[in-house]
Amino acid sequence: MKIGIVNDSRLAVAALLRVIALDPSLEVAWVAEDGESAVRMAAARTPDLILMDLLMPVMDGVEATRRIMAATPCAIVVVTMDLGRNASQVFDAMGHGAVDAVDTPTLAEPDSKLASGPLLRKIRNIGRLLDGRTGPSRAAAPLMRKASTERLVAVGASAGGPSALATVLGSLPAGFNAAVVAVQHVDEAFAAGMADWLDAQCHLPVRLAREGEGPQPGTVLLAGTNDHLRLIGATRMIYTEEPRDYLYRPSIDVFFESVAQHWRGDAVGVLLTGMGRDGALGLKAMRERGCLTIAQDQATSAVYGMPKAAAALGAASEILPLPQIAARIVRACNTNNNQ
């Protein structure tokens, strides 16, 4: 797996090189000191993965991510100091297609393996994604008879997801009365910040889903931990470590399939931009249960992985450009049977 490093700090580069050296299957393709150099190097030698700093001279990591994903797309992980204070830029970079974010490891840690663990795990997970090893397939969830007039919108997103979620959720009107639950692939360290970031851009209130509560009409609940969010029964959600072997945490498939199994009213499933296949099987389970299912189209996806997988499975009843999805959701929730 060939990796590009973009960072203007020699100490940070040394720490990243130490992480990469821990796994003999990883290879450094090049090192760039600023975003502008990174764009040129990525065009000349596109790596499998880029470890992208945010704060650099000449061109910052957000703009470099945007340009690389537009010209020579590849997996990008934001690796920078003090992610909490730079959360808005992290979400901007993820909106342009960055897969994940993690704090820069330091050379000062006494246990190098412990310090390198979070980044190395993310690198290896992305390697599995690139290899197509995303975990076992599962049978579709059993179908349940509709017996309620309540409506639920289940949304899943990954790379490119923050800005896509902001577009869709921000276009839902203040009087929208369906419940909305969103699952975004993001480390739990950033989940609360993402909920606040989305809340500032939406007419509906956005907050993290709490253990034991159910979907709330007129409210957007965001999965908030590295465990999977699952609907159990019609009115209660829990966080669960199982299945432990899933690459995606939290898994969109797990939540979508629980909706197909337990939600008694009408539901709409929406799968947005993202790398890999998570959500495709769950969206198919929702469609087989009779739900309206929507996948984002290729032209408007920052990373056309998850929606492409859903389209290939016949999981999406409609494939729509991002700007049209919110209006379709509103129309479906204002009519009977999601028409």
Its sign, for the CA torsion 50, 55, 60, 61, is positive
Residues 180-237 pLDDT 10s: 999 999 888 889 999 999 999 999 999 999 999 999 999 999 999 999 999 998 889 9
Predicted local confidence at residue 135, as pLDDT? 52
Predicted local confidence at residue 336, as pLDDT? 56
Active-site position among 185, 187, 262, 301? 185
Residue pair 51/3 in contact by the 8 Å Cβ criterion? yes
pLDDT-derived band of residue 247, with 50, 70 and 90 as boundaries? confident
- Residue that the structure tokens 């931990």 belong to: 225
Predicted local confidence at residue 116, as pLDDT? 64
Predicted local confidence at residue 28, as pLDDT? 97
**Cis before 250 (ω within 30):** yes
Residues 302-318 pLDDT 10s: 999 999 999 999 999 99
Kindly give the residue spans of alpha helices, DSSP state H, lying in the chain. 10-21, 35-44, 61-71, 87-95, 112-131, 161-170, 188-199, 252-262, 280-288, 306-313, 322-333
Q: What is the mean pLDDT of the chain?
A: 90
- Alpha-carbon span 168 to 64, nearest angstrom: 25
- What the chain holds in terms of domains, given with CATH numbers, is 2-131 (3.40.50.2300), 151-338 (3.40.50.180)
Predicted local confidence at residue 103, as pLDDT? 85
Q: Is the pLDDT of residue 153 over 60?
A: yes
Active-site position among 158, 163, 171, 301? 158
| pTM (whole model) above 0.85 | yes
185 labelled catalytic: yes
Element (DSSP H or E) covering residue 78? strand 75-80
278 labelled catalytic: yes
